[in-house]
Amino acid sequence: MVSAPTPTTAADAPAGTAAGREPLRISAEDAPARLHLRAGGVSLLLDVADGRLPGVVHWGADLGDLSAEDAALLARGQLPNRTFNDQDMPQRLDMLGSQHEGYQGRPGLDGSRRDGSGWTPRFLLTGLEVRGAAGDAAGPDAAAAGSGGDAAAPDAAAEPGGLLAPGPAAVVFHAADEREGLRVSLAVELLESGLVRARATLTNAGPGEYEVRELGVVLPVPAQAGELFDLAGHWGKERVPQRRPFGVGTHLREGRKGRTGADAALLLTAGTPGFGFGEGEVWGLHTAFSGNHRTWAERLYSGHRVLGGSELLLPGEVVLGEGESYAGAWAYAAWGVGQDEQARRIHRWLRARPGHPRRERPVTLNVWEAVYFDHDLARLTDLADRAADLGIERYVLDDGWFGARRDDTAGLGDWVVSPDAWPDGLAPLVDHVSALGMEFGLWVEPEMVNPDSDVARAHPEWTMAPAGRLPNESRHQQVLNLGIPEAYAHVRDQLVAILEEHPGIAYLKWDHNRDLLEAGTAPTGRPGVHEQTLAAYRLMDELRERFPALEIESCSSGGARVDLEVLQRTDRVWTSDCIDPLERQQMHRWTQQILPAELMGAHVASGVSHTTGRIHTLHFRAATAVWGHLGVEWDLARATEAELAELGEWIALHRRHRELLHGGELVRMDAFDPTVSVHGVVAADRGEALFGVTSLGSSDVDPVGRFRLRGLDPERRYAVRDVTPGPVPDGYRPAPWWPADGPVEVPGRLLMDPGLHLPGQFPESSRLLHLTVLEG
């Protein structure tokens, strides 16, 4: 059995390349020994001397113009000395972690034929293809400047043993082991933002089947990377940071849930000890796959330190017949000085994609925590009226509109409007919302099924399960096997029918509320997570192609499907089912390690948190939510007039500063006191900024001290204004310099260093500062 390779999207084309341009093709005999890619202040120096698979000589700070001789010296300098009782040749690490090079860590490729052969192939380069950042083929005389202008003519050729320096580029290395009948293509790109991405594609070129158990890539990090950082978490508390020393052994993060996971590593980072948002070198890797996956950091006694990532394949999920191929997951690698620079490289790449949402992100009302399953037309239209009065721009009807779905025990898989809940169909509500000038959105969970549903009764074989029994239920549901063509068509056709019947539906909140445990395919029960993940991608792609204006939110029990592959198909992520603003302060901070604010759903909920029971002021709820893609999830009919007025002010502030919030560069200040959070966004030209200064708890000292900002122009003066909406919260005590009664002029360098005193605030309150450059 063979499964199709991971789908490609617009993101698979090198950023900035022109469609239809032919790459520069170089034979193995004419290939240079090394390639130097430069972009965004980053150098990626690759070694392919002697026809070997590429090894990373340097990934980090820009090396500047580099001669072939200096590149060769660096390549030799990366090989360790021989130690006693060691191999006779120095261990060389290539990007597949090949064992024939002497590398003793986790290999990127794990596979074999049925007789056991082919498990340690020796790939030799057969050729390579290069595209420059402007879409032209890149030759040896191409500019190595980080701006990456046009590359040389397609017929340019590099001197064997020399250096190819095409600037930002995409390179595909082709290699083969003719004896084993295997071929591999390794795509390596340095994008304009300085972000690196890579993935391998394996082809069975020989007779007989070849089972792939793993296909990933590994990148080395230097010895000064002595500390590891990644994220953990669970439902309702996603993105919990954790640190540890980078000791000898393997730090392996496996996701076996069939989705990215609320506890996913997100971006596994190695860095100089004590690194933070603004200081310390960091090297991080993200495995972009929404199903089972692995991300690891490994340190060997030989001195190698690496980061790696791959899809996690279950037994028999990818078995290649002759001529068939499998493409592994993309691994995205971000270097920077501080975690903010690392995050900004990812944000810049996401924002540069052709498919990135360009129009203003509409302020959203989701009705879930207002009505739950109680779908009453009069109540829902009243909510729509109140939302429109507040300046809300999108209205989302959540779970409960279809089939027998009166609670969470029935109806999933039957994507037809319930005649019981909606005797006149959805049209009255959709039309009412549209007449108010708002978009209409709808909740769906296409990959799931309740056993108590028409489709499950008619087609029990469509439920994912091992042979002869069902997996444990979760939330009264199982998984509908989209890898079965008929099941896929059932879901697709029902969703298409809804969208065609109601052209006003411009948005799907796409949920995924259970892990894929024991997710087999009838009748044998063979594993099907790989095919299910690709089918979900295909379904999103097909719906977006058929309905080009449709936007999709990735929701998975909240934030359990947040990765850079699903983001090629979605326009927003639901950060968490927990809208408690105190919990969201941490979740927003670390979700933005890969997501820019415009893709991060952040809502103002009711005063009593649905998931924690905590009570918070509207001030703190809104001051937390305003920094993402703003929304409301609150029964507005229960809000007081004063609350509605204050909420309207926060919405107006968000809309007024939305371009900056959703286009500025992220700045997170390292905490000098654990009870204080300072973060914001700065315009690319440093002419404008918005910062939040938040008290999270009671400090051991009072006053807390001076805070500093980052990212401003130290040579310019700024007008600083306190633009916090609403009434002044209890406990607010402005410092003498604070712009409480109007703007204050402050030189940028004084805001950056030495900084100025914080205001006094009760815990769980915040002030917002708007900075604009004073001209002249």
Q: Which CATH number fits the domain that encloses residue 756?
A: 2.60.40.1180
449 and 537 belong to one structural domain: yes
* Token code pair at residue 597: 């604010």
CA trace torsion 102, 103, 107, 110 (10° rounding): 10
- Is 259 within a domain? no
- Structure tokens given for 145: 């400047």
CATH of residue 518's domain is 3.20.20.70
Cβ contacts of 699 within 8 Å, gap of 6 or more: 673, 675, 676
CA distance linking residue 553 with residue 628, whole number of Å = 14
Which of 32-36, 302-306, 605-609, 683-687 is least confident?
302-306
Residue type, 86: D
344 in a structural domain: no
Q: What is the pLDDT of residue 251?
A: 98
Instruction: Please tell me the least confidently modeled range out of 10-14, 174-178, 208-212.
Output: 10-14
**Does residue 575 share a domain with residue 471?**
yes
pLDDT tens digits for range 184-224: 999 999 999 999 999 999 999 999 999 999 999 999 999 99
Same domain (yes/no): 326, 375? no
* 515 in catalytic set: no
DSSP H stretches of helix in 550-665: 581-591, 618-625, 641-656, 658-661
Tens of pLDDT, residues 492-519 = 999 999 999 999 999 999 999 999 999 9
pLDDT digits (tens, 9 = 90+) for 649-674: 999 999 999 999 999 999 999 999 99
- The pLDDT score that the predictor gives to residue 151 is 34
Strand 394-397 and strand 227-234: the pairing is: unpaired
The answer to the question of residue 65 being in a domain is: yes
Asked if the structure places residue 256 within a domain, the reply is no
Average pLDDT over residues 753-767: 96
Examine the domain organization and report whether 543 and 690 are in the same domain.
no
The DSSP string of 139-166 is: -TTS---TT------TT--PPTTSEE--
Res 776: pLDDT: 65
Structure tokens at 368: 């879930």
Position 22 confidence tier, pLDDT thresholds 50, 70, 90: confident
Please, is 454 exposed, middle or buried when counting C-beta atoms within 10 Å of its C-beta (0-12, 13-18, 19+)?
A: middle
Where does a domain end: 658, 692, 717?
658
Residue 506 domain flag: yes
Cα(296)–Cα(309) distance, integer angstroms: 6
Tens digit of each residue's pLDDT (9 = 90 or more) over 330-352: 999 999 999 999 999 999 999 99
Total residue count of the chain as it appears in this document: 776
Same domain, 678 and 648: no
Domain containing 67: what range? 10-80+90-225+281-294+302-333
* Cα 490 to Cα 505: distance, rounded to the nearest angstrom: 20
712 domain residue, yes or no: yes
Which of 119-133, 259-273, 448-462 is the least confident region?
Answer: 119-133
Across the range 31-37, mean pLDDT stands at 96
CA dist 361 → 575, 630, 775 (Å):
16, 8, 30
**What is residue 37's predicted lDDT score, i.e. its pLDDT?**
97
CA distance 309 to 189: 16
User: Is the same domain home to 170 and 94?
Assistant: yes
Closest to 406 in 3D by CA, of 427, 362, 376: 376
- State the average pLDDT over residues 406-430: 97
Q: What percent of the chain has pLDDT over 70?
A: 93
What per-residue confidence (pLDDT) applies to 411? 97
- pLDDT bin (cut points 50, 70, 90) of residue 91 is confident
Report pLDDT for 469.
95
Co-location of 612 and 694 in the same domain: no
502 and 462 both lie in a single domain: yes
pLDDT band at residue 17 using 50, 70 and 90 as cut-offs: very low
Q: Provide the mean pLDDT of the chain.
A: 93
One domain for residues 195 and 219: yes
- Distances from the Cα of 463 to the Cαs of 410, 470, 488, 512, in angstroms? 15, 8, 12, 15
Q: What is the pLDDT at residue 138?
A: 38
pLDDT tens digit sequence for 381-395: 999 999 999 999 999
Catalytic pick from 263, 515, 571, 577? 577
Strand partners, 271: 227, 282
C-alpha dist (Å) from residue 535 to 4, 121, 439, 516, 517? 10, 31, 28, 14, 17
Terminal C-alpha separation, the chain:
70
Residue 577 known to be catalytic: yes
Confidence check: pLDDT of 146 > 50: no
Instruction: Name the domain boundary from 602, 631, 658.
Output: 658
C-alpha separations of 377 from 295, 482, 546, 594 in Å = 47, 33, 29, 39
SS (H, E, C) 690-751: EEEEEECCCCCCCCCCEECCCCCCCCCEEEEEECCCCCCCCCCECCCCCCCCCCEEEEHHHH
Biggest CA pair distance of the chain: 82
Q: Which of 312, 286, 139, 122 is nearest to 219 (CA)?
A: 286
More confident residue, 103 or 342: 342
In one-letter notation, the amino acid at residue 524 is T
Which CATH number characterizes residue 64's domain?
2.70.98.60
Q: How far apart are CA 166 and CA 544, in angstroms?
A: 35
* 695-712 pLDDT tens trace: 999 999 888 999 999 999
Say whether both 643 and 678 belong to one domain: no
Residue 166's pLDDT is 87
Q: Residue 479: what pLDDT?
A: 98
Question: pLDDT higher for 184 or 102?
Answer: 184
pLDDT surpasses 90 at 78: no
Contacts of 651 (CB under 8 A, 6+ apart): 363, 390, 391, 392, 630
Q: Determine which one of 94, 511, 515, 571 is catalytic.
A: 511
**What residue has token string 């509409």?**
362
Long-range contacts of 490-498 (CB under 8 A, 24+ apart): 490/455, 490/459, 490/462, 491/413, 491/415, 491/446, 491/539, 492/539, 492/542, 492/543, 494/414, 494/415, 494/416, 495/415, 495/444, 495/446, 495/543, 496/543, 496/546, 497/416, 498/415, 498/416, 498/417, 498/442
For 532, how many CA atoms within 13 A lie in the half-sphere containing its CB? 30
- Per-residue pLDDT band for 324 (boundaries 50, 70, 90) equals very high
- Tell me, yes or no, whether 264 lies in a domain: no
Alpha carbon 581 to its chain centroid, in Å, reads 22
The structure tokens listed for 516 are 């894929």
pTM (predicted TM-score): 0.94
**Which of 553, 734, 771 is closest to 657 using CA atoms?**
771
CA atoms lying within 13 Å on the CB side of residue 588 = 30
The Cα 594–Cα 347 span in angstroms is 7
- How many helices and strands (H and E) does the chain possess? 13, 41
Is position 271 within any domain? Answer: no
Counted domains in the chain: 3
Q: Are residues 756 and 654 in the same domain?
A: no
Confidence class of residue 687 from pLDDT cuts 50, 70 and 90? very high
Q: Which of 603, 623, 658 is the last residue of a domain?
A: 658
CA 661, 362, 356 angle in degrees (round to 5)?
Answer: 70
Distance in angstroms (rounded) separating the CA atoms of residues 11 and 239: 25
Q: Are residues 623 and 722 in the same domain?
A: no
Backbone conformation region of residue 277, classed left if phi is above 0, alpha if psi is from -120 to 50, else beta: alpha
pLDDT at residue 8 greater than cutoff 50: no
Residues 496, 446: contact at Cβ < 8 Å? no
